[in-house]
Amino acid sequence: MGEFDLIQRYFTRPTPRAVLGVGDDCALLQPAPGMQLAISSDMLVEGRHFLSTVDPAALGHKALAVNLSDLAACGAQPRAFTLALALPRADAAWLAPFSQGLLALADLHGCELVGGDTTQGPLNICITVFGEVPPGQALLRSGAQVGDDLYVSGTLGDARLALEVFRGTQSLPEAAFVQARARLERPTPRVALGLALRGVATAAADVSDGLLGDLGHILRASHVAAVVDTSVAMQLIATCAHPSYANGLFDAEKQLAYVLAGGDDYELVFTAPPMARAAVQAASAAAHTPVTRIGQIEAPRTTAAVRLVDADGAPVQRQFAGFDHFA
Amino acid sequence: MGEFDLIQRYFTRPTPRAVLGVGDDCALLQPAPGMQLAISSDMLVEGRHFLSTVDPAALGHKALAVNLSDLAACGAQPRAFTLALALPRADAAWLAPFSQGLLALADLHGCELVGGDTTQGPLNICITVFGEVPPGQALLRSGAQVGDDLYVSGTLGDARLALEVFRGTQSLPEAAFVQARARLERPTPRVALGLALRGVATAAADVSDGLLGDLGHILRASHVAAVVDTSVAMQLIATCAHPSYANGLFDAEKQLAYVLAGGDDYELVFTAPPMARAAVQAASAAAHTPVTRIGQIEAPRTTAAVRLVDADGAPVQRQFAGFDHFA
């Protein structure tokens, strides 16, 4: 199978909205009048972002999901994406499920594959995604205000827990592992929530490198600090609520670490003023996505930007690092 | 040096035209009213698209140049790009010249780096580029008409010749090699010519995989065939005209092969009706880019889509393959 056959067979699909899709030097899109274009690129590398044993369909899903998650964090409506793919070899047994997982998620969000590139090389998946957002309505990292509530969507820490099971540092009952593994391998980008939070949230980011790391981006961009209630946050790991989970399979320290600094969650962390609590709940309901208030934005300070407290407001002394690819 | 330091130090630049540049979940662009967006992605892999010994500044230049070449082939005005980069390690001695070479070419074309991704992994450079073109004016592969003249810009085959010197299958005088090597390592995207050919050319593609291969894309998309005068085409290799070049350093067979199927040329192959010859020459002059008429578009046939002839119109029997990453 040659390069052009490969593109034709697995990655050429009707693109009813694009002016011109796969197969010319460029794709052509006609942006909706007046809308701003939100653009994000993510590159996934074997061994770094996924295990070599991962199901190709799940990998196709995840490669697009992590990009859609960036659009969600901006409150942008997905429109189109490009796929650049380096493959050790053109293998139909891999390409068929990979493209199927990728395009199923694309269809779910009406996000058209309009172009890209394929080449021989160590497995590398680079997706660039395009969304639309009305001018002035994008959710930025820089809008958090002192006194704002701090929220996170969905659940946190399950993906990291599944990764630790793969690494052999944790064990789980099979049914609980299946659930945690799905969070690692098939994350759900919170696109509907991002759209519903336009005009409600003051700042947002997606949680890809761990809650504290990505919250840190908001705090730096907004020149503020935050307090996080660890007693609320640590309950956000869904695996602990799984019926097969016997309490105490892993300790509270690890539980908190996975929630606050686990990575690969693809939830949204966002801020909104206390007067918007009803609006946040309405957005959550409209998007069928639970959100949890985990803290508050505070005035900037010279010490650590995030203050961890327990249920009584007493300081929790813990250090977590956000994931850094070169640290 | 961590991931965020790396991005801050080497890849964060003012983006006066973008609404929002590097540093949030997405970049935000405001498309010019009514314009279509031309999008292209290219991925460069070490050992496949460049040698490990290449000068990082040249590599930065080339990584963007091959993407701008796709915009040129569409007649689109470059506006912005994203860069996703997998690196074995964060090495300032490599990153500084790489980013300098990349951004110097970006500045030359007013093309802003608005976002991207960095990760640890085998060296891989994935750029997605965005350009603007008025609706209906994009140069497509599908517009060639029977009777159209067939043109190519600039010179062909020098990049392949330089590659063969690196591979040890050819030798050249030093001065001629320097010139050929510059064509391999620092290709010039024909952006100005692409813009000048709007409304003049009926079809265009960029020559990245070899003239015959990329001409083949036009012929398939346009459902036509072509004749190419090899006596004209084979003079397009600049190295043969170099003062240090002693005629006969490589044979005529190889010369023709490098020109017709060398690859890495980043010239434009395009078609225009004979009545547009003056307009083509005016576009060439306006863009300061020579163009050469090398053949003509013919009616489709069941045999090979490209017919090679000599100066007398007699058939030239040669087989060349376009480059295929998985063939």
Range among A197-201, A262-266, A313-317 rated most confident: A197-201
- Provide long-range contacts, Cβ within 8 A and 24+ apart, for B251-259: B254/B170, B255/B157, B256/B230, B256/B318, B257/B318, B257/B320, B258/B156, B258/B157, B258/B158, B258/B160, B258/B161, B258/B164, B259/B156, B259/B157, B259/B211, B259/B233, B259/B234
Specify the pLDDT at position B317.
Answer: 84
State the complex-level ipTM. 0.86
In a 3-state reduction of DSSP, which class is residue A11? helix
Give residue A327's pLDDT: 45
Interface test with A, best of B12, B39, B217 (most A CBs within 10 A): B39
DSSP A33-98: TTPEEEEEEEEEEBTTTB-TTS-HHHHHHHHHHHHHHHHHHHTPEEEEEEEEEEESS--HHHHHHH
Q: Where are the alpha helices (DSSP H) in B75-207?
A: 92-108, 158-167, 174-185, 191-196
Put simply, whether A45 touches B (Cβ < 8 Å) is yes
pLDDT for residue B304:
83
Does A114 sit within 8 Å of B42, measured CB to CB?
Answer: no
User: Is the pLDDT confidence value at A1 over 60?
Assistant: yes
Residues A221-228: what's their mean pLDDT? 95
This prediction has a pTM of 0.89
Contact A2 B71 (CB under 8 A): no
Q: Which of residues 16-35 of A touch B (CB under 8 A)?
A: 19-20, 23-31, 33-35
Nearest Cα of chain A lies from the Cα of B94 at a distance, in angstroms, of 15
**B45 to chain A: nearest residue by CA?**
A121
HSE, CB side, 13 Å, CA atoms: give it for residue B280: 24
Tokens in use for B10? 């080497």
Best A7, A9, A19, A24 residue to mutate vs chain B (most B CBs within 10 Å):
A24
Give the residue from A3, A41, A140 with the most B CB atoms within 10 Å of its CB, the best one to mutate. A41
Q: Is the pLDDT score of A62 beyond 70?
A: yes
Task: Name every chain B residue with its beta carbon within 8 A of the beta carbon of A7.
Answer: none
All structural domains of chain B with their residue ranges: 3-133, 141-309
pLDDT of residue A277: 98
CATH architecture of B3-133: 2-Layer Sandwich (3.30)
Phi, psi of A105 (to 5 degrees): -70, -40
Question: What stretch of H or E contains A254?
Answer: helix A252-261
CA-wise closest residue to B305 among B215, B230, B226, B223: B226
Structure token pair of residue B283? 């576009």
Higher pLDDT, A65 or A53: A65
- The CATH code that applies to domain A141-309 is 3.90.650.10
Output DSSP code: residue A210: -
Task: Name the residue among A25, A46, A221 with its Cβ closest to that of B70.
Answer: A25
Highest mean pLDDT: which range of A107-116, A165-174, A186-195: A186-195
With CB atoms and an 8 Å threshold, state whether B82 touches A118.
Answer: no
* Residue A86 confidence (pLDDT): 92
Distances from the Cα of B308 to the Cα of A232, A261, B38, B260, B293, angstroms: 74, 63, 33, 10, 14
* Structural tokens at position B77: 């005005």
Which residues lie below 8 Å from residue A312, measured CB to CB, with a gap of 6+? none
Q: Which residue has the higher pLDDT, A267 or B6?
A: A267
The arrangement of strands across the sheet holding B27-29 comes to A112-120, A77-87, A124-133, A36-45, B27-29
A120-135 tens-digit pLDDT: 899 999 999 999 999 9
**DSSP character string of B149-166:** EEEEES--SHHHHHHHHH
pLDDT exceeds cutoff 80 at A243: no
Q: Name the residue with higher pLDDT: B150 or A326.
A: B150
Q: Is B278 on the interface with A (CB under 8 A)?
A: no
How close is the nearest chain A Cα to the Cα of B165, in Å? 23
- From the list B28, B117, B120, the residue facing A36 with the nearest CB is B28
Q: Using a CB-CB distance cutoff of 8 angstroms, which residues of chain B are in contact with residue A84?
A: 41-43, 126, 128
Q: Considering only CB atoms, which chain A residues are within 8 Å of B31?
A: 31, 35-37
Task: Over range A232-258, report the average pLDDT.
Answer: 78
The reply to whether A141-309 shares the fold of A3-133 is no
pLDDT along chain B (327 residues), means of 10: 69 70 78 89 86 88 95 95 90 91 95 88 93 92 96 95 88 88 93 97 94 93 95 87 66 87 94 98 97 96 90 86 51
Q: Which of A132-136, A250-254, A276-280, B312-316 has the lowest mean pLDDT?
A: A250-254
Residue A275 has pLDDT above 70, yes or no: yes
Quote the DSSP letter at residue B121.
S
Instruction: State the Cα–Cα distance between residues B226 and A186, nearest whole angstrom.
Output: 49
Closest CB to B324: pick one of A3, A24, A133.
A3
Measured CA to CA, the distance from residue B152 to residue B155 in angstroms comes to: 8
Residues B58, B62, B64, B69, CA torsion sign: positive
Task: Dump pLDDT digits (tens) for A24-38.
Answer: 778 888 888 888 999
Pair of tokens at residue B43: 């991925």
- Interface membership of B84 toward A (CB under 8 Å): yes
The verdict on a CB contact (< 8 Å) between B28 and A42 is no
DSSP for A119-176, written as a single string = EESS-EEEEEEEEEE-TT----GGG--TT-EEEEES--SHHHHHHHHHHTS----HHH
CB proximity A203 to B under 8 Å: no
A304: Cα separation from own chain's centroid: 25
Output the pLDDT for position B327.
45
Tally C-beta pairs within 8 A across A and B: 238
